[in-house]
Structure 1
Amino acid sequence: MSYQHFAYYYDQLMEDAPYEQWISFFEQAIVSVGADISSVLDVGCGTGSISIPLSLKGYDVTGIDLSGDMLAVAHEKSLTQHASVQFLQQDMTEIDGLAEFDAAVIFCDSLNYLLTEEKVAAAFQSIYRHLKENGLFLFDVHSLYKIHNIFSGNTFAENAEEVSYIWQCYEGEYPDSVEHELSFFVREEDSRYSRFDEVHMQRTLSVKAYEQLLEEAGFTVLKITGDFSENKLESEAERIFFICIKSK
């Protein structure tokens, strides 16, 4: 599922997202593994909020996303910030025609838009094929705790001057999934507001299920953590982070 109207207001609504922590997680993982990383594939790159900072740090970055609208925003941002990133519209389950990379990342719960284990497996296999030997694969997903205790049945809202939203969460049709119903209101030049509605679905799996699919794809899981912390208990974490290496 790809973002449409929402893509053009995504950064305003996500301005408090801890992107710098994802960057730090990436660089700390490199140090902990002792890897030499030059090229990075940013899968589900969205508006480039990870791709662009990595490029500005000197990495050779390629960003892929299913949403052409998100990629259009990412491209404009990269030009404004003088970052050299190749952005391509591709499905993470069918990555095609790219070189092999030293590392691949899927951050900000992009993997949770895949609603079946078969799709997740296909994404892992697709990424595996585009990593060099001993390449790193890092990603995060929503925890089961977050799906059931923070999202499902709850409503979130923000009343800002330029863009406001109402975000309602319902239990999804798949196990451990959630349906996000988004209504956002954008202030126009004449002070009237335009309303846009989108529905997004996400699903997560158990940590054990992710581990099994990773191993079947050929990865070795080096470390699993929660909420950017080495000490956060898995049962309390909202995000689960995986550090993996291409091992076969």
Structure 2
Amino acid sequence: MTYNRFAYLYDELMKETPYHQWVDFVVRQIEKYGVKAETILDVACGTGELSIWLAEAGFRVSGVDLSEDMLAVAQAKAAERGHAIQFFQQNMAELEGFDSLDVITIFCDSLNYLQSEEEVVKTFQHVFEHLHSNGLFMFDVHSIYKMNNIFRNGTFALNEEKISYIWQCYEGEWPNSVEHDLSFFVLEDQTGLYERFDELHFQRTYTIEQYKQWLQNAGFEVLEVSADFSDQSPEEHSERIFFTARKK
């Protein structure tokens, strides 16, 4: 999934996103499992907001994203906020060229944008190759419940002075997948008129057991599966599933 104009609206649309909760989760898991962690690779880093939060927490951070536009925003924002974060344009399923890292993360349900099982498997394999022994891999995904009961056939909307959207969700081609059809209306300062543009996003998820099997096949030890930023195991109505795995 590549973002074009959407990249320059992303931070405005995500201004209520609880980035501190992802940072707290990372710190908590590092401490819980006794990992000496200095370096973090933030995969699917988008506009770099979480990368910057992680840098502000004291980690040496690099970021990877598929979108050139997202990375342009990330680089400018990191420089403005005084952080020397390196950002690289790569597909997470083809991750390459990094020295061994202490922690790799894929947050904000970014893994769900991969369109095939093969891509997920390749991503796990490449993450494994780029971690130190005992390094941690942490990621989150949408639950099957959220895909099928909240997103599917749902309509969401935002109506603000400078930006509005209509977001419609449809059942995807594959089981537990969704197509997000978004129409944005953005106020142009120069003309005072609203300009419309459209985006189509695809997300797909799998069972917890399937993710665990793929992790184990890649060589990971699955340390913990939790839900919704808590330490609790997933329940029927959990929406965001977190995985913590360690390179053996």
Normalising by structure 2, we get a TM-score of 0.98
Kindly provide the amino acid, as one letter, of the partner of residue 93 in structure 1. A
1:43/1:105 contact within 8 Å kept: yes
1:225/1:234 contact within 8 Å kept: no
Deviations 1:207-229 (A, max 9, x none): 00000000000101101000011
Deviations 1:83-136 (A, max 9, x none): 121000001011111111000000000000012111100000011111011100
| Residue number in structure 2 paired with 1:231 | 232
CA distance in 2, matches of 1:203, 1:131: 26
| Residue number in structure 2 paired with 1:7 | 7
> Do residues 76 (structure 1) and 62 (structure 2) align?
no
Name the SS of the counterpart of 1:224 in structure 2: strand
| Residue number in structure 1 paired with 2:132 | 132
CA distance in 1, matches of 2:221, 2:234: 21
1:183/1:197 contact within 8 Å kept: yes
| Residue number in structure 2 paired with 1:61 | 61
Name the SS of the counterpart of 2:49 in structure 1: coil
**Superposed, which structure 2 residues align to 1:136-155 within 5 Å?**
136-155=136-155
CA distance in 1, matches of 2:26, 2:56: 14
CA distance in 2, matches of 1:232, 1:99: 33
Deviations 1:44-66 (A, max 9, x none): 00011111111122211110000
In structure 2, stretches of 5+ residues that fail to align are none
**Superposed, which structure 2 residues align to 1:1-248 within 5 Å?**
1-189=1-189, 190-231=191-232, 233-247=234-248
1:115/1:174 contact within 8 Å kept: no
Question: Relative to structure 1, is the Cα distance of residues 206 and 16 closer, same or farther in structure 2, using a 3 angstrom cutoff?
Answer: same
Per the TM alignment, residue 233 of structure 1 is displaced from its structure 2 partner at its CA by: 3.7
CA distance in 2, matches of 1:4, 1:179: 18
Per the TM alignment, residue 230 of structure 1 is displaced from its structure 2 partner at its CA by: 2.1
CA distance in 2, matches of 1:233, 1:219: 20
Kindly provide the amino acid, as one letter, of the partner of residue 22 in structure 1. W
Kindly provide the amino acid, as one letter, of the partner of residue 5 in structure 2. H
1:104/1:131 contact within 8 Å kept: yes
1:133/1:246 contact within 8 Å kept: yes
Normalising by structure 1, we get a TM-score of 0.98
Per the TM alignment, residue 232 of structure 1 is displaced from its structure 2 partner at its CA by: 5.6
**47-56 vs 61-70, greater mean Cα deviation:** 47-56
> Taking every aligned residue pair, what percent have the same amino acid on both sides?
53
CA distance in 2, matches of 1:49, 1:42: 10
- How many positions carry a matched residue from both structures? 247
CA distance in 2, matches of 1:244, 1:209: 14
CA distance in 1, matches of 2:175, 2:28: 33
2:177/2:205 contact within 8 Å kept: yes
**223-232 vs 19-28, greater mean Cα deviation:** 223-232
In structure 1, stretches of 5+ residues that fail to align are none
Deviations 1:133-162 (A, max 9, x none): 110000000000000011000110000111
Name the SS of the counterpart of 1:93 in structure 2: helix
